[in-house]
Amino acid sequence: MDNKMENFKYNISEALELPKDIVLDLPKIIMVGNIQLNISNHKGIIEYTQEILRINSNIGVIKISGNNLKLKTILSEEIIVRGNIEGIQIIS
Amino acid sequence: METIKTWNFFRGYVIIRVEGLTLERFLNLAANNDIYLWDINRIDYTLLEMKATIDGFKALKEVVKKVGCRTEIVDKKGLPFILYKLRYRKMLGLGFVIFLCIIIFLSSLIWHIEIIGNDKVKTEDIRSVLEQENIKKGIIKYKLDKDYIEYLLLNEFDIFSFLSVDIKGTKLIIEVKEQDLPPEKIDTDTPCNIIASKRGVIEKAIARNGKAVVKKGDVVDKGQTLITGVISDEYSEEQIFVHAEGEVLAKTVYSQIINEPIIKTIEKETGRVYERRQLKIGNKGVQFFKGDIPYKDYIESVREVKLFDIDLNLPIKLLVHEYKEVKKEEIKQNIDLLKQSNHIKAVEELNKQLSSGAQIESKDVGHSIKDNVLSTHVVIEVIEDIGEKSIIDSNYKEDID
C-alpha cells in the first residue's frame, strides 16, 4: 500500500516535472566542492563531532566524515556544514 | 554572507558554550523551536561553542532545562552591547557630541576664498571689495548671498563680462571672465590731433581731415604732433578745431641683440639620484638628514608627496628633495650653426614686437665674437602707421581763446 502510494507520487512528479525532494519528501543534499554541504529536509542530528556528522533523514542516516567539521547553521529545514569533507555515506 | 554578519552585528549576538552529554539533542531541540544558532563548533566531547542572538539565547533556557546541560556566555558582541557599555561612559558620549558639533561648525565656515580668471584686475582689489561687504575668511557660508556677490562685483568692475560664485565645501570660488575692452574710441565730433606713437622717419603723411604738419623725411619723436586738428585761417585770427584723421606712415627701426657663448657647459645627468625628505608644518620644516649630498654638481628639484588623497591645502606637507647628479661638460659649438640659430631667435623676438599692419622694409644682420661670446645684432626697418589720436585739451583751447 505504502509502496504503491510512493510509486504514484513518483509518477506524478515525473509527469508534471515537480521537484522530487518536495513531492517525495526526500532530503536535498548540495555540495560545494569539499568545503561545504547543505542538507535540506533533514530529520535531526544523531551525532556531531569534528570528524563525523550523522544526520537523520527519510532515506536513512546520512553520515558525513571529514575533519574540522563545523555547523554553519542549523534550522529545522536546513543544515549547513563547513569543513574539510572527505566522505558521505547513506546508511538506510 | 557579509550582509548577514552586518545584520547580526547590529542586532547583537552572544558567543556561548554549552556543556553536557546529549548535545545533539540540544541542537535538534533548538532547531525545532526555531532558535537560530550558527557557527557551531565541537571543541570537546562534552563542549560546544556557538553563536546565538540575544532573543535566541533567552529562548534557549527552556531547551537547556529539558536537556540538562549548562550554558556559559563567553563573549557579547554587537552594537547593543557597545551602546550598553556607553551608558556608563557619559563623558565619552558627550565628547563625541561635542566633536560632531565642532566638525559641523567648522565645515560651515568659509576658510578659503579663491579667485580664478582675473588677469587685469588684481586679486587683492577684488578681495578688498569683498571685505568691505564683510565677506572674508571665517564667515558662515549659509549667510552668503551668491547673487549679491555677483551683483556687487559686476557693478564694481566693468571689465568682468561673466562671474560665477560657487561654494565648494569650505571654499568660496569666484570665477571671473574679463572682457577685452576696445581701445577708447574718440567721438568724431571731438577735436583731436594725431600724434606719433613712436620714433620714426616719416614716409608719407596723408591728412584726410586737419592739416599735416610733417613731411617726408622728417624725424619725429614719440608724442610729436603729426596731423593737427587746429586750423588757423590766414585771413582771420580765429582758429577752428577739427577732428583730425589720416594716416602717417613712418619708417621705424627695431633691433635685437642675442648673445650666446660659443663654449657651453652642458650639465649631463649621470642618472644617480639622492633623495632627502622634509616634513613641512606651516612654514617650519623638519628635514630628515642622511648625511651630506654626495655629489659635487647636482640639480635640486622639490616635489610634494600628498599625504592624503584629497584636494585640500593642508598645513602639513611632505616634501621630497631630489638631487640629481650632473657632470659638467664643455662643448664648443659650431659657429655657423650658432649664427643661424641666433638669427632665427632674434627674428622671432622682433616679430613679437611688430604691430599687425607693419611692412618690413629691410633687414640687417651682424655677428661679432668677443670673449668667446657670439653676439648677433639684427636690425629691421619697418614701415607702419604711427598715428595715434589724442584729444585736444580744453585748457589748450581756452588758452588760445
Residue B326 covered by a domain: yes
**Pairwise CA distance, residues B174 & B133, whole Å:** 15
pLDDT reported for residue B52: 92
Instruction: Answer with the one of B330, B352, B375 that is the final residue of a domain.
Output: B330
SS3 A39: strand
**Pairwise CA distance, residues B318 & B304, whole Å:** 6
Residue A49 covered by a domain: yes
Residue B245 covered by a domain: no
Instruction: Answer with the one of B69, B84, B99 that is the final residue of a domain.
Output: B84
Nearest Cα residue in chain B from A75: B31
Domain that includes residue A33, residue range: 27-91
**Pairwise CA distance, residues A27 & A40, whole Å:** 6
Q: Which residues of A touch B24 (CB under 8 A)?
A: 44-48
Nearest Cα residue in chain A from B28: A44
Could you tell me the CATH number of the domain that includes residue A31? 2.60.40.2000
Residue B201 covered by a domain: no
Closest CA to B72 of B42, B48, B55: B48
Residue B75 covered by a domain: yes
Nearest Cα residue in chain A from B39: A72
CB contact set of B11 (below 8 Å; sequence gap of 6+):
B53, B54, B78, B79, B80
Q: What is the pTM of this model?
A: 0.43
| Residues B50 and B18 sit within 8 Å (Cβ to Cβ) | yes
Note whether B319 and B273 are same-domain residues: yes
**DSSP one-letter code for B143:** G
Note whether B282 and B293 are same-domain residues: yes
Q: How far is CA B158 from CA A65, B73, B183, in A?
A: 88, 77, 14
Note whether B314 and B338 are same-domain residues: no
Task: Give residue B349's identity as a one-letter amino acid code.
Answer: E
| Residues B290 and B276 sit within 8 Å (Cβ to Cβ) | yes
Distance from CA of B69 to the nearest CA of A (A): 16
Task: Give residue B202's identity as a one-letter amino acid code.
Answer: I
Nearest Cα residue in chain A from B26: A45
In a 13 Å sphere around the CA of A24, the CA atoms on its Cβ side amount to 22
| Residue A56 grid coordinates | 537523520
Residue A15 covered by a domain: no
Q: Which residues of B touch A70 (CB under 8 A)?
A: 39-41
Residue A66 covered by a domain: yes
**Which residues of chain B, if any, have pLDDT below 50?**
401
**Structural domains in chain A (count):** 1
Look-up of cell digits 554549552 = B18
Residue B358 covered by a domain: yes
**Pairwise CA distance, residues B119 & B142, whole Å:** 29
| Residues B257 and B345 sit within 8 Å (Cβ to Cβ) | no
ipTM exceeding the 0.85 mark: no
**Pairwise CA distance, residues B397 & B387, whole Å:** 22
Note whether B322 and B358 are same-domain residues: no
Distance from CA of A7 to the nearest CA of B (A): 30
| Residues B204 and B220 sit within 8 Å (Cβ to Cβ) | no
Distance from CA of B83 to the nearest CA of A (A): 27
Question: CB-CB: which of A45, A70, A72 is closest to B28?
Answer: A45
**Pairwise CA distance, residues B316 & B280, whole Å:** 6
Nearest Cα residue in chain A from B45: A49
Domain that includes residue B290, residue range: 265-330
Q: Say if the Cβ atoms of A48 and B36 lie within 8 Å.
A: no
| Residue B84 grid coordinates | 550598553
Q: Say if the Cβ atoms of B31 and A76 lie within 8 Å.
A: yes
Interface of B with A in 20-59 (CB under 8 A): 23-24, 27-28, 30-32, 34, 36-42, 45, 50
SS3 B30: helix
SS3 B130: helix
Residue B145 covered by a domain: yes
Q: How far is CA B168 from CA A68, B70, B111, B134, in A?
A: 56, 61, 11, 19
Q: Say if the Cβ atoms of A71 and B31 lie within 8 Å.
A: no
Task: Give residue B364's identity as a one-letter amino acid code.
Answer: D
Count helices and strands in chain A by DSSP H and E runs? 2, 6
- One digit per residue, pLDDT tens: chain A, 92 residues? 568 888 888 888 888 888 877 778 889 999 999 999 999 999 999 999 999 999 999 899 999 999 999 999 888 889 999 999 999 999 98
**Exposure string over B75-112, b if 16+ CB within 10 A, otherwise e:** ebebeeeeeeeeeeeeeeeeeeeeeeeeeeeeeeebee
CB contact set of B248 (below 8 Å; sequence gap of 6+):
B194, B196, B202, B204, B205, B206, B212, B214, B226, B227, B385, B386, B387
Residue B200 covered by a domain: no
Neighbours of B29 (CB within 10 A): 18
pLDDT reported for residue B401: 47
Closest CA to B264 of B317, B361, B204, B334: B334
Residue A5 covered by a domain: no
Distance from CA of A15 to the nearest CA of B (A): 34
Instruction: Answer with the one of B330, B345, B362 that is the final residue of a domain.
Output: B330
Could you tell me the CATH number of the domain that includes residue B59? 3.30.70.250
Q: Which residues of A touch B (CB under 8 A)?
A: 44-50, 69-76
Residue B198 covered by a domain: no
Distance from CA of B40 to the nearest CA of A (A): 5
Note whether B61 and B128 are same-domain residues: no
